[in-house]
Amino acid sequence: MAGSLAASAFFPGPGSSPAASARSSKNAAVTGELPENLSVRGIVAKPNPPPAAMQVKAQAQTLPKVNGTKVNLKTVKPDMEETVPHSAPKTFYNQLPDWSMLLAAITTIFLAAEKQWTLLDWKPKKPDMLVDTFGFGRIIQDGMVFRQNFMIRSYEIGADRTASIETLMNHLQETALNHVRTAGLLGDGFGATPEMSKRNLIWVVSKIQLLVEQYPAWGDMVQVDTWVAAAGKNGMRRDWHVRDYNSGRTILRATSVWVMMHKKTRRLSKMPDEVRAEIGPYFNDRSAITEEQSEKLAKTGNKVGDDATEQFIRKGLTPRWGDLDVNQHVNNVKYIGWILEVSAPISVLEKHELASMTLDYRKECGRDSVLQSLTTVSGECTSIGADKQASAIQCDHLLQLESGADIVKAHTEWRPKRSHAAAENA
């Protein structure tokens, strides 16, 4: 704009005389203002001014100069302003598309397609099933059963390339907690409901029974179903049924009894009516282990310390920090490792596999406890039933504090090891 003013001073437009231009320049030099009949471009304006809506006020950061003198630009009505947009020169960089907007649009399309695919994949098969997008499992059978799948990882198998009993027990515990979470009943505690959390109550396991038909191998997918039922007036029963995901064959059946304990006093408590009202609608009378099967499972006896074929004792066991759960006591699955891996004879572990187990939990174990594990092998058993799959060895186990208090009593039955293929054929 300053260039246009300077050019207009030396090159007046048509219709203007040199004398008029000289007089205009002289007045501008004296007053610092342009004549009223001189436009911004140095062209003589018409006598009649344009309408007020069409007038423009030009603003600049620095005052333009004409012949070395600062000038001010004025219009008739200064209250009417119009901003003249500045357009950057067109270059190759400016003409490139906005890639961030393009990527955002593509991501939105893929997420929407994935969501629709998930819904279409499950709804037609089982309409009563709640799809779980985050992999925590899902509710099936009108909300009465919770189901979750697990892949057997390389770090969950033993020397024989099959999953250990501790791996399977961890799957049972995980599905139990995820069942409570998915049902919307998870409070502040380890599987405790909101009403339990208000009263400082937690769940503790009292008894577990399980039957193992076969052990999954590395890479197998297992499907775990779990549900709950009433166990007396103050207890809750939780059952599990574990199957092979592809073949549908049973891998494990288990049942357990849980009672409530006060978190601060560490004493057993009755089940409040408010808690029963929370979990009551989810009770299912179905049993994973029938009464007949339960009767065949030998009870945890008092054979430990009696005359037997062999006895094995391991003393000085202390819990590690990783053995504790959020309730500040040793997790129930850790007891199984102490019982089977510590005191069981290596000859049994090498040539046999666990077929059944019954555990009675008598007392909790804390971080500072010192324990000893005792195992008695009662010898071989005869085959029972047409399938000839009875256990070959029976063992009784006792885990107790060195002071003498019993922590866990257990009875296990073992059968000769079978290959993974032979177990599937059986």
One of 178, 327, 331, 332 is an active-site residue; which one? 327
329 catalytic per annotation: yes
**Alpha-carbon distance 187 to 184, whole Å?**
9
Contact 365/371 with Cβ under 8 angstroms? yes
Please state, as a whole number, how many other Cβ atoms lie within 10 Å of the Cβ of residue 405: 12
One of 179, 241, 329, 397 is an active-site residue; which one? 329
**Alpha-carbon distance 280 to 19, whole Å?**
107
241 catalytic per annotation: no
One of 241, 365, 395, 411 is an active-site residue; which one? 365
Q: How far is residue 105 from each of residues 115, 212, 392, 396, measured CA to CA in Å?
A: 16, 51, 65, 65
Q: How far is residue 313 from each of residues 340, 371, 377, 402, 410, measured CA to CA in Å?
A: 12, 11, 12, 12, 15
327 catalytic per annotation: yes
What is the set of active-site residues?
Answer: 327, 329, 365
